[in-house]
Structure formats: structure tokens, C-alpha cells
């Protein structure tokens, strides 16, 4: 129960920040282009810094073992989510993308930190890196059905993947931590939640609220993204040892997050259904205020 309440409090704070972004856009204080630039700051600076900082810890055999475990578990959970997305939305690339890929970076990181502590972000670093790789490849393909758009160069230059590799090298080669650098990175990492939710608020401000509450298909996407996939992931987690409690809960939090805003970015970039993608991001984010605490409270009880 305590874990669920912590999560509910954190999501409520995020919702308030999202309303701030909504109001700023409506008042003309931030534009669509401005929110896109804030998203660039998140993707190319804030989240990479968070991942690198997560790995800048003392190397131990136990942590290396945890990294291997989390990579394998993350891969399985992502494949499971993509498979469910394919089953339900085989002919709709935008919706398939929307249910397959959660907002593990923007929302997963601050929620895991709030519930389990900053050190637990270590457990979802692999998931975030893999998620971004799959978005740049499988995600682009199912949305466009064009294999030519899948570029190895784009994968190699992905900022999340680069930061993962840098962080891994720092961890393996036991690079000593520098207080000044760590303090600076901590300040930058603190931007993640406010910026991410302000951007989400801007997306919400662009959405047609009538369509948001009246479209049955959007609720189907939300049901699968927020309930079906998290429960399937939870079922898989139950076969893992209880000794991996923090690891399982961290990955489940990330897997239970609403649809990532990248679906709207890609839909806009590749001339797909941008309007629907924005509505999905907004609706799943709003409904996650209810769904995520319930899923995590259930998991915290079953994982004991």
C-alpha cells in the first residue's frame, strides 16, 4: 500500500506540472516548436546524463550480475509488449507503436527514483536503451512499413544508446567519481520530471478534448497499454525470484508507464496520424494516474 501511495503522490505532482505546460501553451508563453526544443534537451542532454550518472557507481560483481539480469528481463518485457501490440493492432502502426513502447525514460526514471530511490534507476537503464533501439527500428517500420527508413547510423548515433555505452564503460573500468561533476549532473538530472511533464501538457493543450473523451478506440489503446501489458509483465515477473524485488518492481514501473511521447514525434516526422498519436499520449498519461498505483500496489503485494 505504501508503495502505491508514494507512486500516486508522484504522479499527482506530475499531473500538476502537466497542467502548467497546458496553461503556458494556452497563454502563448510556449509554442509547439518551443516544446519540441525542450524535448530535444531531454533526449540529447537530460536523460543521457541520468543514465551515465546511474552507472557512475562502485563496480561490484553483484551489480554486474544485476545489469545482466535486467538486460535480459527488459528484453523479454519489451518483446512481450511488442507481441501484444501486434496481436491487437496489426494493421494500425501508430496504435501498435503506442501500446508497445512506454514512457520509460520521461516517467519511468522519476517514478522509480521516488518509489525505490535513485540507485534503482540502474535497473531500468538497459530497458530504456533497448526501448530506444526498438523505436528507431521496429517502431519506425510498423508505423511506415518502409524498411529503407531503418538506418544503422541512426541507431549508432542515438543519444540514449551512446550514454548507455559511456555509462557501461565508466562502470566496468571503475572510473572514480568526481564530486563537482556528480553535483552538476545531479542538477541536470533534476530537470527530467518538470520538462517532461510540461511537454506533455503542451501535447494535451493541442488535443481536441471532445475526441479525447469520446473515442472508443483510444480507450482500447489505453486499456492495453495501461492494464493488459502491465499485467502480462507482472505475470512474467512472478516466475522470477522474490530476492529480485527492487529489480522487478523498477522494471514493472517502467513497463506500466503511459505511451511515450516519441510516438507523436515519429508520427509527425513520417507523416502518419499525428492527431491520434497526441490523443493517445494525453489520454494514457491522464489515466495512468489511476492505473499505475493500482498495478504497483498489486505487484508490491505479490512480490513479497
Higher pLDDT, 286 or 95: 95
Mean pLDDT over each residue of the chain, to the nearest integer: 86
Q: What is the dihedral of CA 133, 138, 141, 147, to 10 degrees?
A: 80
pLDDT at 75: 94
At 122, the pLDDT band (50, 70, 90 cuts) reads confident
pLDDT at 2: 63
Average pLDDT over every residue of 261-267: 78
pLDDT at 1: 53
**Cell 495512468 sits at which residue?**
288
Segment 14-57, tens digit of pLDDT: 788 889 999 999 999 998 888 878 878 887 888 889 888 888 88
Average pLDDT over every residue of 167-174: 89
pLDDT at 24: 95
Which CATH architecture best describes the domain 2-302? Up-down Bundle (1.20)
Q: Is the pTM of this model over 0.95?
A: no
Would you say 203 and 30 are in contact if contact means Cβ atoms under 8 Å apart?
Answer: no
Segment 127-162, tens digit of pLDDT: 888 887 888 788 888 988 877 666 677 777 878 788
| Displacement of CA 164 from its chain's centroid (Å) | 15
User: Which residues lie closer than 8 Å to 272 by C-beta, 6 or more apart?
Assistant: 93, 94, 143, 144, 266
At 254, the pLDDT band (50, 70, 90 cuts) reads very high
| Concatenated DSSP letters of the chain | -HHHHHHHHHHHHHHHHHHHHHHHHHTTSS-HHHHHHHHHHIIIIIHHHHHHHHH-S---HHHHHHHHHHHHHHHHHHHHHHHHHHHH-TT-HHHHHHHH-B-IIIIIHHHHHHHH-GGGGGGGHHHHHHHHHHIIIIIHHHHH--GGG--HHHHHT-HHHHHHHHHHHHHHTTPPP-HHHHHHHHHHHTTHHHHHHHHHHHHHHHS-HHHHHH-HHHHHHHHIIIIIHHHHHHHHHTTS-GGGHHHHHHHHHHHTS-B-THHHHHHHHTTS-HHHHHHHHHHHHHHHHHHHHHHHHHHHHHT-
Higher pLDDT, 280 or 148: 280
Where are the domains positioned within the chain?
2-302
Segment 49-98, tens digit of pLDDT: 988 888 888 888 888 898 899 999 999 999 999 999 999 998 899 999 99
pLDDT at 98: 94
Would you say 39 and 265 are in contact if contact means Cβ atoms under 8 Å apart?
Answer: yes
Segment 183-230, tens digit of pLDDT: 999 899 888 878 878 887 887 888 777 777 777 889 999 999 999 999
Average pLDDT over every residue of 238-257: 92
Interatomic CA distance for residues 284 and 304, integer angstroms: 28
pLDDT at 3: 64
Amino acid at each position: 500500500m505504501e508503495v502505491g501511495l508514494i507512486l500516486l503522490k508522484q504522479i499527482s505532482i506530475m499531473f500538476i506540472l502537466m497542467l502548467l505546460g497546458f496553461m503556458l501553451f494556452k497563454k502563448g508563453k510556449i509554442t509547439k516548436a518551443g516544446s519540441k526544443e525542450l524535448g530535444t534537451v531531454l533526449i540529447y542532454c537530460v536523460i543521457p546524463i541520468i543514465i551515465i550518472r546511474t552507472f557512475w557507481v562502485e563496480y561490484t560483481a553483484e551489480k554486474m550480475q544485476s545489469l545482466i539480469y535486467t538486460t535480459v528481463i527488459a528484453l523479454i518485457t519489451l518483446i512481450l509488449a511488442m507481441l501484444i501490440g501486434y496481436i491487437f493492432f496489426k494493421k494500425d502502426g501508430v496504435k501498435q507503436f503506442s501500446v508497445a513502447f512506454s514512457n520509460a525514460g520521461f516517467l519511468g526514471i522519476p517514478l522509480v527514483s521516488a518509489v525505490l530511490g535513485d540507485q534503482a534507476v540502474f535497473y531500468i537503464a538497459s530497458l530504456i536503451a533497448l526501448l530506444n533501439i526498438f523505436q528507431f527500428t521496429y517502431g519506425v517500420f510498423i508505423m511506415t512499413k518502409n524498411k529503407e527508413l531503418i538506418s544503422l547510423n541512426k541507431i549508432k548515433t542515438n543519444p540514449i544508446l551512446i550514454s548507455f555505452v559511456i555509462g557501461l564503460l565508466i562502470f566496468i573500468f571503475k572510473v572514480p567519481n568526481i564530486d563537482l561533476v556528480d553535483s552538476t549532473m545531479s542538477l541536470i538530472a533534476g530537470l527530467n520530471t518538470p520538462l517532461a511533464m510540461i511537454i506533455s501538457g503542451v501535447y494535451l493543450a493541442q488535443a481536441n478534448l471532445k475526441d479525447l473523451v469520446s473515442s472508443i478506440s483510444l480507450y482500447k489503446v489505453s486499456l492495453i497499454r495501461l492494464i493488459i501489458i502491465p499485467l502480462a509483465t507482472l505475470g512474467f515477473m512472478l516466475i522470477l525470484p522474490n530476492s529480485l524485488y527492487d529489480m522487478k518492481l523498477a522494471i514493472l514501473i517502467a513497463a506500466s508507464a503511459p505511451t511515450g511521447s516519441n510516438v507523436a514525434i515519429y508520427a509527425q516526422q513520417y507523416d502518419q496520424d499525428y492527431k491520434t498519436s497526441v490523443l493517445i499520449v494525453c489520454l494514457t498519461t491522464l489515466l495512468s494516474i489511476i492505473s499505475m498505483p493500482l498495478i504497483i500496489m498489486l505487484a508490491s503485494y505479490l512480490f513479497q
